[in-house]
Structure 1
Amino acid sequence: MNRHTAREKALQILFQMDLHENESQAEMEEMLVAEGNEPFLRNLVEGVRQRKEELDGMITDKLENWSFDRIASVEKTILRIAVYEINYLDDIPSTVSINEAVELGNRFGDEKSGKFINGVLSKIIA
């Protein structure tokens, strides 16, 4: 599984876990195993899940005229993944994380998601 596909799978798993907040560690483990137990995918899912509050704080700090609660769940999940990559995965350039997040936003969000995600992430790396 390439990293692009792993990001898509991470988005799907984390989005599902966000919608069903009572998802257990065992259920997350089942989803990861079903996806081939890919190390990069596991790193993204576990890292975002463990640092969710911290990541949400980093995102909230960069929002202008917008509240975190107003962000759609898909966009929140994409932002969390990208902010995790930018802050905790040194082997991935920030520009790659941003480009991948914008692409996910364009694919899974609405017509404005990509621009919104790009704007927030640009402030995070500034």
Structure 2
Amino acid sequence: MGRRREGREAAIQFLFARDLQGAEAKPEDAAAFWTLHSAKTSTRAFAESLIQGVLSHQEEIDTGISKQIENFSFERLAAVDRNVLRVASYELLYCPEVPTPVILNEAIDIAKALSAGESGSFVNGVLDKLAKSLRKPGSPAASAPQPS
């Protein structure tokens, strides 16, 4: 598994734990998380950049996701799925160097690995609509292959 995949999974796990605690993130939360989740320096740095990005833009990200889900409230999403969508949405919005197919494929694979049932299909459907609204087809970020 690559550094970026591990970083995405770690970011999702941190955000998932934060969701379950229902509290604002504190510096000691991150320290406790990294005590339990060992990672290489580069993997941890990538995960922390995703975590900080999601937390800094969470309201905008959550609103964008909410607009894409039909007949379902954002709060009722499974916590794993919600955080997979948050990390992928952050990358779609703020990481133009990462191609859309890479973001979608990573999110779908992580949802399949960490969540249950039809999560991969659900995440795919939501992110596909979100990507089409955020990134124009044919743009470099929308299609350029890049290793994950």
| C-alpha distance in 2 between matches for 1:35 and 1:14 | 16
1:4-43 equivalences in 2 (<5 Å):
4-22=5-23, 24-30=25-31, 31-32=33-34, 35-37=39-41, 38-43=44-49
Aligned to 1:106: 112
Task: Give the match's secondary structure for 1:84.
Answer: helix
Partner letter of residue 127 of structure 2?
L
TM-score by length of 1: 0.90
TM-score by length of 2: 0.78
| C-alpha distance in 1 between matches for 2:104 and 2:69 | 16
Given that residues 32 and 42 in structure 1 are in contact (C-alpha distance below 8 angstroms), is that contact kept between their aligned partners in structure 2? no
1:61-105 alpha-carbon deviations (Å, 9 max, x no partner): 111122212211110000000000011012111111110000011
Partner letter of residue 118 of structure 2?
K
State whether structure 2 residue 99 is matched by structure 1 residue 93.
Answer: yes
Aligned to 2:87: 81
| C-alpha distance in 2 between matches for 1:4 and 1:58 | 23
Structure whose CA Rg is larger: 2
Instruction: Provide the aligned C-alpha RMSD in A.
Output: 1.7
Aligned to 2:144: none
1:31-64 alpha-carbon deviations (Å, 9 max, x no partner): 3576455321111011111111111100001111
Most deviating of 35-44 and 59-68 = 35-44
For structure 2, the 5+ residue unaligned runs are 133-148
How far does residue 23 in structure 1 lie from its aligned partner after superposition?
5.1
Task: Report the number of matched residues.
Answer: 126
Most deviating of 18-27 and 113-122 = 18-27
